[in-house]
Amino acid sequence: MNYKDYVGHPLQTKGAEIVSLHGGRGDNMKYIIVRNGIGLTAWISLDRCADLTRVEYHGLNMGYFSPCGNVSSQYYDCNGDGFLKSFTAGFFTTAGLRAVGTPCIDDGETLPLHGTISNTPVESYSIKEEDDGIFINAAVRDCVIFGPKLILQRTYKISYDNNRISVRDTVFNDGDKISPYMILYHCNIGYPLLSEKSVLNIPNSGYISRNKFAEEHKQTALLMEPPQAGYIERCYYFDVKTNNNNIAKAGIYNEDISSGLIISYNKSQLPYFTEWKMMGKKDYVLGLEPGNCTPDGRDVLRKENRLKFLEPEESFVTSVNFDFYSNIKDYERDI
């Protein structure tokens, strides 16, 4: 059937639109809203590194929206953990590009929580529609005069054929000196996909606790709990199993809403996987975070000889896929 005969404008069923917000700390923030026509709606923030602020699947929210709400990059506080004052979280926030995790001083440089790239606006972008989906290209510059110069080229594909969002990032060292290179996809699952009824699947060969407190609760790392007052966050580092193509997967499914998500990525690109479990009231979020590092801070990774670098004019590619499910049998087959 030629559905085009039934609609007056392509946006009646699917496509991309650009909107801006009004009011509060999100005033004038711009988003690309993409609908694929078969279940997915995605909000891509042009003010915040082209991160995915919102994802809805069949009208249900998939990510976590923090108490900060929408916060423009002009309000970013780079001191210590000031990042949290503007941490919208959203479906995913990019941590990096030269620092991830705990604030620290490394190689004489004071580094904030999770780096600065997620609070950096997109410099240029393009939208292209093809038969099989919408492609969004964005460039973000993490550059300093007399200092490091990293450029992030990000490409999204939101499929028209299935409920998949793919992101492919190329980070290029445009400077004349070697630079630390850290990237972590801070994927944040929220209600209603996340509840005590959710089942978390991380096929693994073992996992370790980030600290002593997390170790005390290690046996419940994969168990989702109801919101609790005074809950203390816990982090676990998983050795995620891979298939023959070195693809690793982690997933979550909630039968109460007949919805699930599988995150897949190439483990050779992103060798680390962090679970951030935070079951607090209002702060109810599950982080599923593939990265080329753990969130322990750049100083720790340097000391442990795990810190990645980019030589001048060197680039590195990472990619992550997000697949959404309504049928638990399809989810169980793919996870």
pLDDT digits (tens, 9 = 90+) for 66-125: 999 999 999 999 997 899 999 999 999 999 999 999 999 999 999 999 999 999 999 999
% of the chain residues with pLDDT over 70: 99
279-323 pLDDT tens trace: 999 999 999 999 999 999 999 999 999 999 999 999 999 999 999
Span 32-50, average pLDDT: 98
What's the domain count of the chain? 1
For residues 95 and 101, the answer to whether their CB atoms sit within 8 Å is yes
- CA 136 – CA 127 distance, rounded (Å): 5
Structure tokens given for 208: 């370790």
Q: Domain containing 185 — which CATH number?
A: 2.70.98.10
Categorize the per-residue pLDDT at 1 as very low, low, confident or very high, splitting at 50, 70 and 90: low
> Around Cβ 299, how many Cβ atoms within 10 Å?
19
pTM of the model: 0.97
Give residue 49's domain range: 3-334
For residue 215, report the phi and psi dihedrals to the nearest 5 degrees.
-60, -35
For residues 62 and 42, the answer to whether their CB atoms sit within 8 Å is no
- DSSP type of residue 58: T
254 vs 195, 274, 321, 327, CA distance in Å? 8, 21, 19, 11
Categorize the per-residue pLDDT at 144 as very low, low, confident or very high, splitting at 50, 70 and 90: very high
Task: Give bridge partners of residue 135 from the DSSP assignment.
Answer: 128, 157
Structure tokens given for 233: 């966050």
Handedness of CA 278, 283, 289, 292 (dihedral sign): negative
Give which of 154, 185, 224, 194 is closest to 65, Cα–Cα. 194
- CA 19 – CA 46 distance, rounded (Å): 10
Structure tokens given for 271: 């060798």
- DSSP type of residue 83: G
Residue at 147: amino acid letter: G
Q: Give residue 223's pLDDT.
A: 98
- CA 256 – CA 195 distance, rounded (Å): 9
Round the CA-based radius of gyration of the chain to a whole number and report it: 19
Span 212-224, average pLDDT: 98
- CA 149 – CA 141 distance, rounded (Å): 8
Residue 303 half-sphere exposure toward CB, CA atoms < 13 A: 8
